[in-house]
Structure 1
Amino acid sequence: MPETIEERVLKVIAKTQRIPVETVTPQSSFEELGIDSMDSINILFDLESEFEVEIDDEQARHIRYVHEMIAGVTKLLEAKEKASQES
């Protein structure tokens, strides 16, 4: 069974932060996980690579919780899928 978007996002965050994936939940805040602005940039790069999407830096600056990151990636993937169906 393929991994869900949520599972993949949690893994990327855990790997980037070098913390156990079990400690990262959708309800976690970046503050709780010790994620600072530089860490969040690294996470964005890794997520872009993992999902082959481009994340808007300005919108990403407002993300404070893991569930917001998951929702953002999901939205980008849905838009990417829709665009590929239309072409």
Structure 2
Amino acid sequence: MSDYLQMVKEVIADVMKVDIDTITPETNFIEDLKADSMDQFFLVDGFCEKFDVTISDDDARDIRTVQDILDYIEKRV
């Protein structure tokens, strides 16, 4: 498992209060984790803080799965 995946999973588990072991790259924030708009805001905020990146509103709308955020981070970190 990549370090980025582990770090992303930690943010998700903290924000969504889910078991870290249930999170996979295919996990969908809305469909699988039932993230509402506030959850999504806190997830993006957590990713920005954890990885020292800025995620625009337009980019945030395209981030639907764990793999999406991993791809985004790997291109920018």
Scaled by the length of structure 2, what TM-score is found?
0.88
Query: Identity rate of aligned residues, in percent?
Result: 32
Deviation at 1:33, TM superposition (A): 1.1
Q: How many residues of Structure 1 are paired with residues of Structure 2 in the alignment?
A: 75
Deviation at 1:42, TM superposition (A): 0.4
Task: Find out whether 1:16 has 2:15 as its counterpart.
Answer: yes
Q: Which has the higher contact order (CA 8 A, sep 6+)?
A: 2
Gaps of 5+ in 2: none
**Aligned 8 A contact 1:13 1:43 in 2:** yes
Deviation at 1:76, TM superposition (A): 1.4
Larger CA Rg, structure 1 vs 2: 1
In 2, the alpha carbon distance for the partners of 1:67 and 1:51 equals 15
Residues 32-78 of structure 1, C-alpha deviations (whole Å, 9 max, x = no match)? 1111222111011111111111111211112211110111111111x
Scaled by the length of structure 1, what TM-score is found?
0.79
In 1, the alpha carbon distance for the partners of 2:17 and 2:40 equals 13
In 1, the alpha carbon distance for the partners of 2:65 and 2:47 equals 15
